[in-house]
Amino acid sequence: MEELRIIRLALLGIGTVGGGVYEILKRQQGEMARKLGVTVEVAKILVHNKNKKRDGIDASLLTDNWKEILEDDSIQIVVEVMGGIEPARTCILEALRAGKHVVTANKDLLADYGRELLDTAREHNCDLLFEAAVAGGIPIIRPLKQCLAGNHMTEILGIVNGTTNYILTKMTAEGMEYREALAKATELGYAEADPAADVEGYDAGRKMAIMASIAFHSRVTFSDVYTEGITGITSADIAYARELGCVIKLLGVASNTEEGIEVGVYPMLISTSHPLASVNDVFNAVFVHGDAVDDAMFMGRGAGALPTGSAVVGDIFDIARNIRAGATGRIHCTCYKELPIKAVGDMRHKYFLRLWAEDKPGVLSSIASVFGSNGVSIAQMIQRNKRGDLAELVFITDRVQGRHFQDSLTILEGLSVIKEIASVLRVHSA
């Protein structure tokens, strides 16, 4: 039998995710050799401050000197769990150029610099794995790249931000308003002090860029992703959604159409019968459609030390198996197409529009004529609430090009009988 070998790795950072990785590797110590044929051990941990007290971490592993890791040829794997663009980007590039394999959980970096990093990995025949960068512990990158490789993938729908899913769940289940639900999320540590990256959909947008690149075999960067957040959602919208048999979720939507890739993140009405509708609290889920597999969904925890650590360690173990088999660089970047990205105005969606208008004859017909002259057809309308001499009107359109809907909206906003455009949301249609 082959001799037992040890593979040494360095952790760059030992925060939440790094701590999770360290803990999991410790738990796996006993059976790693039988599982992988090799043992993986943490050789060094890069930190800012070596003297900070860290419970449960072997202090002799700490270093504040990146060169000490980079120049140590016995370290074959670098695990980047610092987050942020720099110095993470430089460290990863230098590690790859030094022939080290890299695991990263850094979605910000991948969504903007994925091509550069993956090209560098290929040049040096190194592995660069990043299962943890999308939807935390949920296996989704490897399923897309390998299990579903025989598919022409046409759609990805994702609830890929736990903070916003928690907020919307609280608003839906307990009738909270946005501010109250955000406060609750902050109190529980689900939302950061500056929640913009979550609530504006940027975090979800980065994950969608990464998944769309892999599923559609064409590079999508964060700047290609149109994002809208959830800060304008009110309990009134949620109540109307319920009446329409829907819930509101912050969905990442990526479609591989004949005319190019559509990718965006928006709060959307989605039917309660859709499997994503019952993915609640901080859980994440990714729903995909391919020409062979049809519909499939992957659900789990999108964040947290151990769930995210689970994905990182899965990648570490995969690299260890590659090293052992002499097969690193076995699967490189698979973005071999250059598909166009559709502008948001060219994307087709159903829309939900809630507005307050003067409650008098002729108003409805003015609105209808604006829609009609812009090629927007109305699938459903609800009129019920009044406030003084104003009536609340809710319209659900058929699928329409974004620019046509936007044109209607611009004209509606200029009509003197319309007092307030209260909400504009998209509606998921199968």
Residues marked active site are found at 207
Check: CB of residue 429 under 8 Å from CB of residue 399: yes
Of 126, 197, 198, the C-alpha closest to 161 is 198
| Least distance from a copy of itself to the Cβ atom of residue 298, Å | 6
Looking at 134, 138, 254, 376, which residue binds a copy of itself (CB under 8 A)?
138
Looking at 180, 275, 366, 398, which residue binds a copy of itself (CB under 8 A)?
275
Number of H helices, E strands in the chain: 14, 17
Burial of 429 (0-12, 13-18, 19+ CB in 10 A): middle
- Residue closer to a copy of itself (CB basis): 135 or 409: 135
- Footprint of a copy of itself on residues 152-191 (CB under 8 A)? 152
156: CB partners within 8 A, 6+ apart:
208, 211, 212, 215, 252, 253, 254, 286, 287, 288, 289
Query: Which listed range, 111-119, 135-143, 171-179, 406-414, lies at the site for a copy of itself (CB under 8 A)?
Result: 135-143
Map residues 311-350 to x or -, x wherever contact with a copy of itself holds by CB under 8 A: xxxx-xxx--xx--xxx-xxx--x-x--------------
Of 208, 189, 221, 218, the C-alpha closest to 113 is 221
Query: Which listed range, 72-80, 130-138, 159-167, 401-409, lies at the site for a copy of itself (CB under 8 A)?
Result: 130-138
Map residues 286-315 to x or -, x wherever contact with a copy of itself holds by CB under 8 A: ----xxxxxxxxxxxx--x-xx-xxxxxx-
- Footprint of a copy of itself on residues 7-66 (CB under 8 A)? 20, 24-25, 27-28, 31, 34-36
- Residue closer to a copy of itself (CB basis): 10 or 391: 10
| Least distance from a copy of itself to the Cβ atom of residue 15, Å | 17
Instruction: Give the whole-angstrom CA distance, residue 160 versus residue 207.
Output: 7
- Footprint of a copy of itself on residues 212-271 (CB under 8 A)? 217
| Cis peptide upstream of residue 87 (ω within 30 degrees of 0) | yes
Cα(first)–Cα(last) distance of the chain, in Å?
54
- Residue closer to a copy of itself (CB basis): 201 or 307: 307
Instruction: Give the whole-angstrom CA distance, residue 229 versus residue 209.
Output: 16
Instruction: Give the whole-angstrom CA distance, residue 313 versus residue 18.
Output: 10
Of 43, 45, 41, the C-alpha closest to 12 is 45
- Residue closer to a copy of itself (CB basis): 253 or 306: 306
- Residue closer to a copy of itself (CB basis): 30 or 375: 30
Instruction: Give the whole-angstrom CA distance, residue 131 versus residue 315.
Output: 7
Check: CB of residue 224 under 8 Å from CB of residue 114: no
Total residues interacting with a copy of itself, rule: CB under 8 A: 60
* Sites of contact with a copy of itself (CB under 8 A): 20, 24-25, 27-28, 31, 34-36, 131, 137-139, 142-143, 146-152, 217, 275, 278-279, 290-301, 304, 306-307, 309-314, 316-318, 321-322, 325-327, 329-331, 334, 336
